[in-house]
Structure 1
Amino acid sequence: MKPLRVAVVGAESTGKSWLTQTLAGVLRARGQAVHTVDEVLRHWCDRAGRTPQRHEQMAIAQQQALAACPPGQPTPESWLLSDTTPLMTAIYSHLLFEDESLYPMALAHQALYDITLVTGLDLPWVADGLQRDGPQVRGPVDTLVRQALERSGMAYRVVYGQGPRRLNNALVALGLEGEDAAAQEVREQGQFAINQGRSVWQCNDCSDPGCEHTLFTRLVKQRSAS
């Protein structure tokens, strides 16, 4: 299958980072070249120690767009998986500041992706410091995301499910085969190694209660106690 440019968007605490990184891991295990794009806002808030003000929103959206289109990357032979896009910055600017001026730029960038995955609201909300406002904003954000995409005539797929089911639903949405039991076991063993400290955890504290980070951290503690 020809590599795709994939945007993962959705309300807060719906597993965007987990889904992006886990999809990347599966694709790499299948021999595919993958370029991932992190969420710029998360790093911005960590550096500034606060959330951005209205006049700072456009610069963040532009940085997010540039991160997805760096010079020379990705190549036509590489998948691109973007953990959020400028569209989410535009959504929050609209919701928090009643500023709709970012939509033209954000939607023009969104049109560069082959497919947009919208993460569903079926995961529990989990606090994440400055990064998340509260469960009450998830519904309005989800609505604004869908309205913006539909208004622009952009197709999207909503991804639901817990843990492996969520991953498999995303793979199917991309036109790929889901993981079988053997492939899932290999990936889970890799996550177990991560939690033993042999490499760095990459999920940015995902909100999926059934994810490998939670399950295998518990196993490590049980083994240490025995």
Structure 2
Amino acid sequence: MKPLRISLVGAESTGKTWLTQALAGVLRTRGQGVRTVDEVLRHWCDRSGRTPLRHEQMAIAQQQADAAHPLSQPAPDTWLLSDTTPLMTAVYSHLLFDDESLYPMALAHQALYDITLVMGLDLPWVADGLQRDGPQVRGSVDTLVRQALEHSGMPYRVVYGQGPQRLNNALLALGLEGEDASAQHIREQGQFAINQGRSVWQCNDCSDPACEHKLFTRLVKQRSAD
């Protein structure tokens, strides 16, 4: 499989940084070259001792984009993993300041990635000083992230699970072999049971890029309408 440019986005305290480093570690042990991009906002808050104001959002988003370059022409044998993107700055600017002006720039940058992984909300919220507002904002942030991606026509894959399970689900969503050899078999068996109507669908047990449950549900609705 050729190296990919991967972005990890999602609400606060959903494991973006942990998963970025975990994926990088797995890829390196498999002999792949990897470049990771850190979250600019975290360093900005640490240096400034506060969160940014409305007029400072665009500069932070641009710094995040610049940190990923030369993203448009990466080394041909190197995977790129970006722990957040300007899209998250745009979402928070929208949520906190009712400012939607960052979306064009953020989505133009987002389009440079091969795959976007959206972090599921199944991890417990953990305080992190200035960096996090509280668990009450996670649902709103998650909704805005998905809306932005969907409205722009950008596909994404949601990753759920705790610890090693989250890592396995991310690897499978990327089309890679999981670290746990049984992970893919368990997921495939679960999907078969779901599609045969023998078990209840649970999105937190899946990160299937094709979303067989969605396809199956759409087919059932179409047949019912005929």
TM-score, normalization by structure 1: 0.78
**Amino acid paired to 1:97:** F
Q: State the partner residue of 2:81.
A: 81
Q: State the partner residue of 1:127.
A: 127
| 1:107 counterpart SS class | helix
**Amino acid paired to 1:20:** T
After TM superposition, what 4+ stretches of structure 1 lie above 3 angstroms from structure 2?
70-74
Does the C-alpha gap of structure 1 residues 20 and 111 become closer, same or farther in structure 2, counting only changes over 3 Å? same
Q: State the partner residue of 1:171.
A: 171
Report Cα offsets for 1:54-106 as digits up to 9, x if no partner.
00000000000000114897312100000000000000000000000000000
**Amino acid paired to 2:19:** L
Q: Aligned partners of 2:78, 2:149: CA distance in 1, in Å?
A: 25
1:93–1:99 Cα contact (<8 Å) kept: yes
Q: Which runs of 5+ in 1 are unaligned?
A: 182-226
Does the C-alpha gap of structure 1 residues 129 and 119 become closer, same or farther in structure 2, counting only changes over 3 Å? same
2:168–2:180 Cα contact (<8 Å) kept: no
**Amino acid paired to 2:34:** V
Using the TM superposition, give the Cα deviation of residue 19 of structure 1 relative to its aligned residue in structure 2, in angstroms: 0.3
Q: State the partner residue of 2:93.
A: 93
Using the TM superposition, give the Cα deviation of residue 180 of structure 1 relative to its aligned residue in structure 2, in angstroms: 3.1
Residues 73-222 of structure 1 aligned to structure 2 (within 5 Å): 74-180=74-180
Report Cα offsets for 1:28-54 as digits up to 9, x if no partner.
000000000000000000000000000
Q: Aligned partners of 1:130, 1:142: CA distance in 2, in Å?
A: 20
Q: Aligned partners of 2:108, 2:7: CA distance in 1, in Å?
A: 13
2:27–2:33 Cα contact (<8 Å) kept: yes
1:172–1:178 Cα contact (<8 Å) kept: yes
Residues 14-93 of structure 1 aligned to structure 2 (within 5 Å): 14-70=14-70, 74-93=74-93
The answer to whether the aligner puts 1:11 opposite 2:11 as a matched pair is yes
2:160–2:169 Cα contact (<8 Å) kept: yes
Relative contact order (alpha carbons < 8 A, sep ≥ 6): 1 or 2 greater?
1
Q: Aligned partners of 2:20, 2:76: CA distance in 1, in Å?
A: 19
Report Cα offsets for 1:123-156 as digits up to 9, x if no partner.
0000000000000000000000000000000000
Q: Aligned partners of 2:180, 2:32: CA distance in 1, in Å?
A: 18
Q: State the partner residue of 1:195.
A: none
Q: Which runs of 5+ in 2 are unaligned?
A: 182-226
1:38–1:82 Cα contact (<8 Å) kept: yes
2:35–2:79 Cα contact (<8 Å) kept: yes
| 2:123 counterpart SS class | coil
Q: Aligned partners of 2:47, 2:74: CA distance in 1, in Å?
A: 27
